[in-house]
Amino acid sequence: MKQRQFAFTAIRVLAIYFLVAGIGRLMDVVAPVMLSGSDAHVSAWAYLSLVMPGLVYVAASVLLWSKAEGLVLRITQGQVEDAAEALPATRFASGELYKLALSLTGVILIVLTLPTLASTIIQLLQVNETSYTVTQPFLYSNWAVIMECIVKLGLGLLLIIKTQVIFGWVGRTFQQVRTNNQ
């Protein structure tokens, strides 16, 4: 299996995983409401904050599935896959698997962070709309979660966009450690 085929398959498997996770999250919210049969009034904000993580997972799944080819080209950065110039089908060039793993880790980090960010923002909006007083600890904890999500999103984007630079830095660091230990 060539590098692009491997990356394409990995992204599609990741999309299927996020679809299953999203459906699971949605069913965790929708099934109890449907099965209870009660007319419990749940505010739109509360329901949206419960449903949003599942919707983000499903949207990420659809996006990953539909944009898999573009992501593969971005991750592999247009590397040659010509049969005459490529390695045998079962081998990857030195470090290519690590670059692919770094990029996919960035994608996973972003997709796993988005539901938390969305539900926290919706929760803040809900409390702001329905309550006259908001406690300081509540605000601090939610802003801390938002800041954590922003840092994770930044790290995920960095892993996707600067994979080549990160891999080069790690390679130089390992090489320097080896020469210092000799």
- What residue spans of the chain are helical by DSSP H? 3-36, 44-66, 68-76, 96-130, 136-161, 163-181
Q: What is the pLDDT of residues 67-85, one digit of tens each?
A: 888 888 877 775 545 444 4
Map tokens 């010509």 to a residue: 82
Count other C-beta atoms under 10 Å from residue 16's C-beta: 13
Average pLDDT over residues 72-100: 62
The amino acid at 160: I
- Residue 174 pLDDT > 80: no
- Overall average pLDDT of the 36-60 stretch: 76
Is residue 40 left, alpha or beta, with left meaning phi > 0 and alpha meaning psi from -120 to 50? Answer: beta
Per-residue model confidence as pLDDT tens digits over 3-43? 777 788 888 888 888 888 888 888 887 777 666 665 556 67
Averaged pLDDT of the chain: 78
Which has more pLDDT, 81 or 102? 102
Q: What is the pLDDT of residues 138-156, one digit of tens each?
A: 778 888 888 989 999 998 8
Q: Give the CA count within 13 Å in the CB-facing half-sphere of 139.
A: 6
**Chain centroid, CA 100 distance in Å:** 15
Share of the chain above pLDDT 90, in %: 5
First to last CA, the chain: 37
Residue that the structure tokens 């080209």 belong to: 73
Which pTM value belongs to this model? Answer: 0.61
Distances (CA, A) of 133 to 63, 115, 128, 136, 141: 39, 26, 8, 9, 16
